[in-house]
Structure 1
Amino acid sequence: MKAIVQKRYGDYKVLTIEEVNKPKPGKGEVLVKVQGVSLNAPDWRLLEGKPFIIRFSSGLFKPKNPVKGGDFSGTVVETGEGVLNLKVGDEVYGDLADSGFGAFSEFVSAKESILSKKPHNLSFLESSALPLASVTALQGVRDAGRLKAGEKVLILGASGGVGTYAVQLSKYFGGEITAVTSKKNFSQAKALGASEVLDYKTMDYEKLRGSFDLILGVNGHYPVKLVKDLLKPHGRFVLIGSSSTKELLRMSIFGSLLSKKDGKSFQVLMAKPSGKDLAFIAKLAEEGSVKPVIFKEIPFEQIPEGIKELSEGHVPGKIVSKPPR
């Protein structure tokens, strides 16, 4: 079968399309014929193996899992021993980020526990745009952020994959949303549920001091002093990815100490793939409460270039693709 493969660390140019062995489902796994994939930040952040510390899990000298890709949707074509809730013919979707990746291929083998039946009202491509980004946003808003109805939430980085779902889920849980994005994405943020939209280039932070119960910082650089000043007493800040490795490490190490000192909560979200959360997202999608924002569909062979574009930032939504037939 054809797959997008990475044999060494480097930029997007190290990715190639190659013939690889078709996987076999193990115990508790199903084999899925992939019919849609989407691109996410980990697809480019892990390419170069930097910072070096990540190589202790991804492979010291070269990637130990050469087939790339996390998000996918498709049809179950075979079940392994012990599979209880899925059967051949089921249309499913999932995220392989914690399972060795491998979604950018014609077939994947995945644990039943991290999959869910896809929303019946969405296409395979639309469904593939959901898993990592929507579950990350859900765990940020509902679990780490503990958003309650009527609270004021500020979403920094509201136009990307996670950000677009964070706006929709904050609306679903009853938040009053201020979205921060570029001017070209104002209408998108409002359509998704933001009551106010601010331009990240010109917003007046001083006027917003002490305004928010919850701040979600998505895939950017957000100094602690800045977000601390914007929070109400006992407000919460959740960092969801960052363009600064130092910021992630600092917040991971010192977040709990800052929380005790200031009476405000600072934490880094470590989102985890969850079949249960995917089933919840599917329910919301079928109700119309959550919908994928697809920036564009690209040919399978252009996935490396799509990853490059994603790494450069300001992609308003998700990039999706279909494996070759």
Structure 2
Amino acid sequence: MRAMIQTSYGPTEVIVAQEIAKPLPGNKEILIRIHAAKVGLSDVAFRKGNPFMIKLIYGLSRPRFAIGGCELAGEIEAVGRDVIHFKPGDHVLGMSPKNFGAYAEYKCLCEVSPLAVIPSNIAFEEAVGICDGGATALTFLRDKAKLRKGQKVLINGASGAVGIYAVQLAKYYGAEVTGVCSGANEGLVIKAGADFVIDYTKEDFTKSKRAYDVVFDAVGKSSFSACKRVLTNKGMYLSTAFKLSTILQMMWTSLFKGKRAVFATAGLMQNKENLTFLMELARNGTLNAVIDRRYPLELLPDAHKYVETERKKGNVIITL
């Protein structure tokens, strides 16, 4: 089968196409013929091995897993003899945060992995796009912030892969949403449901006169220290970026009942229930995919280069 292989950390040139053996499903595994995957900033970080914590977990001198990519969507081609809940022909969405493998034609996943059946009215590319940012946004807004109706939420990076779904989910939970993005993406963010938009090229949201119950930094470009002044007395700053400063602030603020900083390894916290929930929201039109560009598998390095510009809107999708 075709796969994109990375045997060292570095620039996009470390990713090369290669023919490798097609995997066979174990007794409790399903074999998925992949139709779509995604590329995001987290994938760029894993390619580079930066921050260093990535190397500590996934291989110091080179990646422990040569095929990258976590989120995938495709059709089940075969199942192991002990598989109960899935069958050949099912269209599924899945995540493989521990050993990756989405940048290939086939991937085996254990039945108990984060997996969900894709509704018939949702395309593979849409499903994997929603999974990309939607799962992360869900973990932060529902599980960490415990977002409630009537709360005021500011989303920094509202037009990105996480932010655009955070806007939609925040509206689903009944919040008043302010999105921060460039003026060029204002229409996109308003269409997603934002009540207000701040153009970061013209205004610094951390100097706003408004106060928010939740500030969700979906791009990790700000900090708890900078955002404290726009948080309510018990407001929460959420960040997707793994920074030592955020971790220390999270530990310190957890000791008090006031303003708090929160970080979560959202990718490792996903499960079947989350993906099934997201697919139900997509099925009924509450959650809509936002796809910026599509690249065939062989042009994965080009997709990485585009993502590194940090100018993408929504998702960048790999098609097979």
Query: Do both share a fold (TM > 0.5)?
Result: yes
Counterpart position of 1:312: 309
Counterpart position of 2:109: 110
Q: CA deviation at 1:12?
A: 1.0
Paired residues of 1:251 and 1:266 also in contact (CA < 8 A): yes
Would you say 1:265 and 2:264 are equivalent positions?
no
Would you say 1:128 and 2:128 are equivalent positions?
yes
Q: Which moved more, 1:297-306 or 1:84-93?
A: 297-306
Q: Which moved more, 1:258-267 or 1:229-238?
A: 258-267
Task: Summarize the Cα distance change of 1:298–1:206 in structure 2 as closer, same or farther, 3 Å threshold.
Answer: closer
Q: CA deviation at 1:262?
A: 6.6
Q: CA deviation at 1:210?
A: 5.5
Q: CA deviation at 1:321?
A: 2.4
Counterpart position of 1:170: 170
TM-score (normalised: structure 2): 0.94
Mapped partners of 2:307, 2:117: distance in 1? 27
Counterpart position of 1:31: 31
- In the alignment of these two chains, the number of paired residues is 317
SS of the aligned residue for 1:130 comes to: helix
SS of the aligned residue for 1:65 comes to: coil
Report Cα offsets for 1:67-92 as digits up to 9, x if no partner: 11112111111112432211111110
Counterpart position of 1:216: 216
Q: Which amino acid aligns with 2:125?
A: L
Counterpart position of 2:78: 78
Would you say 1:301 and 2:298 are equivalent positions?
yes
Mapped partners of 1:52, 1:99: distance in 2? 17
Q: Which amino acid aligns with 2:265?
A: M
Q: CA deviation at 1:240?
A: 1.6
Counterpart position of 1:188: 188
Paired residues of 2:157 and 2:217 also in contact (CA < 8 A): yes
SS of the aligned residue for 2:8 comes to: coil
Paired residues of 1:35 and 1:74 also in contact (CA < 8 A): yes
Q: Which amino acid aligns with 1:99?
A: K
Mapped partners of 2:37, 2:205: distance in 1? 38
Mapped partners of 1:49, 1:260: distance in 2? 33
Q: Which runs of 4+ in 1 moved over 2 A?
A: 50-54, 204-210, 258-262
Mapped partners of 2:133, 2:80: distance in 1? 28
Report Cα offsets for 1:160-187 as digits up to 9, x if no partner: 1111100000000001000000011000
Counterpart position of 1:251: 246
Q: Which amino acid aligns with 1:32?
A: I
Counterpart position of 2:197: 197
Identical positions, percent: 31
Paired residues of 1:153 and 1:215 also in contact (CA < 8 A): yes
SS of the aligned residue for 1:129 comes to: helix
Q: CA deviation at 1:207?
A: 5.6
Match runs of 1:58-97 below 5 Å: 58-96=58-96
Q: CA deviation at 1:276?
A: 1.0
Counterpart position of 2:46: 46
Counterpart position of 1:10: 10
Report Cα offsets for 1:249-297 as digits up to 9, x if no partner: 2212331312435711211022123211000000000110001100021
Mapped partners of 1:256, 1:52: distance in 2? 21
SS of the aligned residue for 2:202 comes to: coil
Paired residues of 1:43 and 1:68 also in contact (CA < 8 A): yes
Paired residues of 1:95 and 1:132 also in contact (CA < 8 A): no
TM-score (normalised: structure 1): 0.93
Which ranges in structure 1 are unaligned for 5 or more consecutive residues?
Answer: none
Paired residues of 1:209 and 1:229 also in contact (CA < 8 A): no
Task: Summarize the Cα distance change of 1:88–1:198 in structure 2 as closer, same or farther, 3 Å threshold.
Answer: same
Q: CA deviation at 1:220?
A: 2.7
Paired residues of 1:209 and 1:231 also in contact (CA < 8 A): no
Mapped partners of 2:239, 2:216: distance in 1? 6
Q: Which amino acid aligns with 1:104?
A: Y
Mapped partners of 1:138, 1:302: distance in 2? 30
Q: Which amino acid aligns with 1:214?
A: V
Q: Which amino acid aligns with 2:276?
A: A
Q: Which amino acid aligns with 1:101?
A: F
Q: Which amino acid aligns with 1:305?
A: D
Which ranges in structure 2 are unaligned for 5 or more consecutive residues?
Answer: none
Counterpart position of 1:225: 225
Mapped partners of 2:254, 2:228: distance in 1? 10
